[in-house]
Structure formats: C-alpha cells, structure tokens
Amino acid sequence: MQAASNQTDGTVGQPITYEKIPTQIFADSKEASNAVAQEIADLIRRKQKEGKSCVLGLATGSSPKTVYARLIKMHREEGLSFKNVISFNLDEYYQMEPDSIYSYHRFMKEQLFDHVDIPKENYFLPDGTVPPALLRDYCISYENKISAVGGLDFQLLGIGGNGHVGFNEPGSLINARTRLITLDHSTRAAAAMEFGGLHKVPRKAITLGVAPILSARRIVLLAWGERKASVIRGAVEGPVTERNPASYLQAHPDVSFVVDESAASELTRVKTPWAVDSVVWDNKMIKKAVTHLSKSLGKPILKLTDKDYNDNGMSDLLAQYGSGYEININVFNQLQHTITGWPGGKPNADDTNRPERAQPAKKRVLIFSPHPDDDIISMGGTFQRLVDQGHEVHVAYQTSGNIAVADDEALRFIDFVVDFNKGFGIDSPEANKLFLDAKTFLKHTKDSEIDTPEIRQVKGILRRGEAKATCRFVGIPTSQAHFLNMPFYETGTVQKKPIGEEDIKIVENLIEEIKPHQIYAAGDFADPHGTHKVCWDAIEAALERSKHKNFMKDCWVWLYRGAWAEWDIYEIEMAVPMSPDQVLKKRQGIFKHQSQKDGVVFQGDDSREFWQRAEERNSGTAHLYDELGLAEYEAMEAFVRWKF
C-alpha cells in the first residue's frame, strides 16, 4: 500500500499536494477488498462491544463483490455477526421489480444478505416500484430512515466511468438530495452487458443524493481496472466539479479511495513518479520514463536531448547514466527488439535479440480464448501468422459465450433448424417440441427469468459454429478447436460462479494433452469478476500444477489484450506487425462471428463494433512505435510474456 504523494515547489515546508483525497493503492483488487472488508468488520465488532447498531451504506456493481465475499467468509469462519447491522443501499433502477435478475434487491440478497445473519428488517434498498406520484415523498422518507438510526457510520462507494457515485450523474450538485434521476447514456451503455443489450437498460433510477452520501461519517470508494484510471485521477487530483461528482468527496473529512494498480495508473505518482520523488532507475522505469518523455514532447526517442531530460524532472537519470544519447540508444534498441514478424520464432536465425526462440522450428501453440471470438479479435493477425509459418496451432474456447447472444439471433437460428428439418423431411417430434418451447420462452420471458438450459445450449451451439468457421478461415482443422465449456460460466446470467476444481482440471488436462511450446492467453484483468480474469485464474492454477513437468520447461506464456485497451508501450515484449492486407483478413475473420456483429449484446459505452475497436487499437500501437521513431507499420498486435 502506498501513501499519498507530495511535491515541493522549492520552498521548504510548502508542499504541493497532488492528491486531494487519501488514496491507497493495492497490488490487486482482492488484496484491496480484503483490507476494506476488515475495516468494515472491525467497525461492526466495535459497535457490538459498545452495544450500538452499525449503520452501513452499501453499493452494488462489480467493485464491491469481493468485499462482500470476504465478509461472508468472516461470518462463516470467524463468527462475524451482522445482527447489529442496519444497511441502506445507494440506488435502484426504476421501474424495477425486486425479484428481477437485474434488480439491486436481488443482487444484494445473492451477494451478501442471504449468506449472513443480518435481520431482514434491518436492510433497506430503494423501491423501484413506487408510483411516480409518490416518489418525492418516498425519497424524503428514505433519507429520514437513515437519520432516524443516527446516520451512516460507513458508506461504501463504487465509481462510474463518468465519475458518478450512486447514480448521481455528471451535473448533480453537491447539495443534491435523494431523488429519481435520468441515467446518463454512458451509464446505461456500461450496464448493457448485465441487461443483454442497451435497449433493455432502464432510463431512470432512484439514488441517494450527494448530500446524504457526504453526511456519512466515513466513506471508502473502490475502483478497479484501467478503465477507471482517468476518472480516478480527475476525482483525486483535479478540481471539484459537477462534471465528475466523485470529486465532491474532496470536501469530506474522512474519506479514502482504495484502488488497484491499474485504476491508479493515471495518478501522477504512478504515471510519472520521477516528477514526484526520487525513484530507482531500473530498466522498466527507464523505459517508462523515456517513452513518456518522447510522447509528451512529440519527439522521437533518438532526438531527445540532455536538456529534455533536465527540463522534465529526469536530471538524476541523466546524472546516473552520463548521457541522454546513451539512454536513448538503449531504450530504442529494446523497443526495436520487440518487433517481429515471426511470433513463433524465426527458424535458423540468431534469436539473441528476438522476443521468441528459434527452436523448435515448428512449435505446438495453444491459444486460450475466454469467449468464442477473443482469439480472432485480440490476436487474429498473430494467429494467422502462426498458422502460415507452419506451427501446429490449437485454440481452446474456454466458455460457451452463450449469454452474449441476443434472443432474436437465437430465434433466427431455431427457425433455420426447424425449416431445415422440414425441407429435408426430417421428422423429430422431440426436436420440434424443444424448439417450440424455446421460441415460446424467448417471446414471453420476464426479467426475473434466466434462459433455460435448452436456450443456453442453442446459443452456445450458435457461437461454436462461428468459432469453427473462424478456424477454417484461418486454416486450422476444427479438430484443433477445443470447446472447454467451463462450468463456472454456465449460470445463464452475467454473474458467474467462482472457478472450481472442475474448471482448473479441464484446462490442466488440455495443456497436458497438447504439451505446448507456446501458450497465448487473455491478459485483460480490469474486472476481477469478469470472464477474462476468471479464465486466466483457471489457466494460472493449471500452470502452477503443471510447471514441474518436463514439457513445461520449454513452454512460454504470452498475454494479449482485447478490443478495448493495449499494453503500455514500455510493457510490450513482442509486437507483431500487420500489413494492410493482413488487417483486412483479420476483419473478415471477425465477421465470421455474425451473432456479435451489428449492435452486439455487450456493446458497452463504445458504439463501435468489435472489428473497429480492434483495428483502431492495432493501428494505434503501430502509430505509437512510429512516433517514437521506429519503423512505420499499418498495425501491430502486442504481447507481454508471463513467467512462472
């Protein structure tokens, strides 16, 4: 954990404080969540000893899930009782039935209340079914209930991509009370994944206002992942503004932001630590500083001067290494050595300065794809290169991806099967009934219902067919496409089960079967509960079990990223360039996933399609290399090596 940083302006005793809110940075969200859960547990126990109630303000969303899981574990294993806890949730969608799979009532019951001994009459959530005419009085009464029990002892918050806390969207005033609010488009887009499409996300919500949030005696805000980095910096280091409602927390006397390293990546002490304090100039820090200097000045690395270093807080680096020229050459060469058109290694070549080994010349390659399209979206050009260069490439599709299929796509698929059977005189009463039941369910499903196992299977079959089409397009036999259907995923909702022994064993057995020289896996860990992160957890556990085996001594693991974000330039260890023709071919491969095209279920807050996002990311990486003074390419896919 790191403390907030200051920088002096040259006057003794007159520090310039970058961080206006105390911010604790943890290595990962699990470690951070455990610390927050421990603080809450300590508060509950202290209040119990005093014979008092502990009044908690609780949040929903992905960020607090691990906090709640830890509290449940403490209840079960350490005897932590919630009998003296009174809780108030921040918000609820409107209109929203409490038993809907999308409701925060249901979320809180599943994530916490049903697993601890909190009395049912002690937890309160905004009612998403209150008639419009009664809403104003209802919101006043909700606040009055909080006041009646003495106010909030502790308020747990998440933060939206636009800075909202609760559902206090940009434009909310610091004195805003509990009310019905119209949700910002970016908020609705971010929730589209949970609802199965933007059109299903409610446009309104009831939220606790900024003023009652600030009245809590203690506030802790959680943020995980690089997607929150920019808004965290604005809230912590920027001005207080209604454009970023989380910045209002700067005025609170006892608030902490608890973030992981990714969410902290835009903070001054993390992004440019040499500008805040002395640093250890190891190789990674030098690469980070030099590439940042080059980008910020708009100068290629080899044109940076001693004056550039001195003028930008890097004089100690210059003093340590003597010359900017030597530093420039060193970093330039390291970046140059990451570029390769031979991701599987170039046969019969000197591999001293190449990111991959030359031997064996023909490698067994295993690409792990969390969903049935991550392989082609995230590393389609590299996938194609590996096949074209003669390697034995296998793809492991870890999950069925069925929840990412829209209902109308499933109906279209069902109609095709029925018409196919009729057209060829295939009479199957069982199949006809199955499809009829499925059509009826999809047309009349309610928000409180999840897809039936049959519907999930239909959607999974659809995505399996698309993945096979991609493999054929790239040029590998479908016998080298492995559909793992990991059990943790098969819940029918965005909320997944934790990985279990069966999930890990499936991955371990496949690695044992193929004995790969190379493994590629998704390295997107922004959401600790997201499918990519859970899939990686299974891979990591399997690798830990297998690392002692002989074949693993010659296995390298490369991490790729998805359509949203790329590795920072100083982190990249292998960059595979792509020509214009290869970019177009990758796009055609992505098009094989028709169910994910033209307004996909999980569009997020980005209106572009997956192929557009991927192309822009890949071209952006190539452009960055070009700006730093290296060779100019149309596009690049980037990788970081994971060592075990």
Positions annotated as catalytic residues are 169
Token look-up 């930008």 returns 312
Amino acid identity of 263?
A: A
Q: Which long-range contacts (CB under 8 A, 24 or more apart) does 432-438 make?
A: 438/410, 438/414
User: Cα 24 to chain center, whole Å?
Assistant: 20
* Cβ atoms of residues 86 and 122 within 8 Å: yes
* Cβ atoms of residues 25 and 259 within 8 Å: yes
- Can you tell me the distance from the alpha carbon of 638 to that of 644, in angstroms, rounded to the nearest whole number? 20
Could you tell me which residues come within 8 angstroms of residue 269 by beta carbon, excluding any fewer than 6 positions away? 2, 4, 5, 18, 19, 276, 277
556-560 and 518-522 beta bridge pairing: parallel
The tokens of 409 are what? 């796509």
- Can you tell me the distance from the alpha carbon of 75 to that of 231, in angstroms, rounded to the nearest whole number? 34
- Can you tell me the distance from the alpha carbon of 68 to that of 57, in angstroms, rounded to the nearest whole number? 13
The tokens of 98 are what? 């409490």
Q: What DSSP line would sit under 171-228, residue for residue?
A: T--TT--SEEEEPPHHHHHHHHHHHTSGGGS-SEEEE--HHHHHTSS-EEEEE-SGGG
- Can you tell me the distance from the alpha carbon of 537 to that of 611, in angstroms, rounded to the nearest whole number? 27
- Judging by beta carbons within 10 Å of its beta carbon (0-12, 13-18, 19+), is residue 278 exposed, middle or buried? exposed
Q: Phi, psi at residue 191, to the nearest 5°?
A: -90, -5
Q: Phi, psi at residue 37, to the nearest 5°?
A: -60, -40
635-642 and 481-483 beta bridge pairing: unpaired
Beta carbons within 10 angstroms of residue 350's beta carbon:
8
- Can you tell me the distance from the alpha carbon of 44 to that of 50, in angstroms, rounded to the nearest whole number? 10
Could you tell me which residues come within 8 angstroms of residue 510 by beta carbon, excluding any fewer than 6 positions away? 366, 396, 482, 484
Could you tell me which residues come within 8 angstroms of residue 602 by beta carbon, excluding any fewer than 6 positions away? 192, 193, 404
* Cβ atoms of residues 178 and 206 within 8 Å: yes
Could you tell me which residues come within 8 angstroms of residue 365 by beta carbon, excluding any fewer than 6 positions away? 344, 386, 391, 392, 393, 394, 516, 517, 518, 519, 520
* Cβ atoms of residues 325 and 303 within 8 Å: no
* Cβ atoms of residues 29 and 260 within 8 Å: yes
* Cβ atoms of residues 178 and 69 within 8 Å: no
Could you tell me which residues come within 8 angstroms of residue 21 by beta carbon, excluding any fewer than 6 positions away? 235, 236, 249, 250, 255, 256, 257
481-483 and 518-522 beta bridge pairing: unpaired
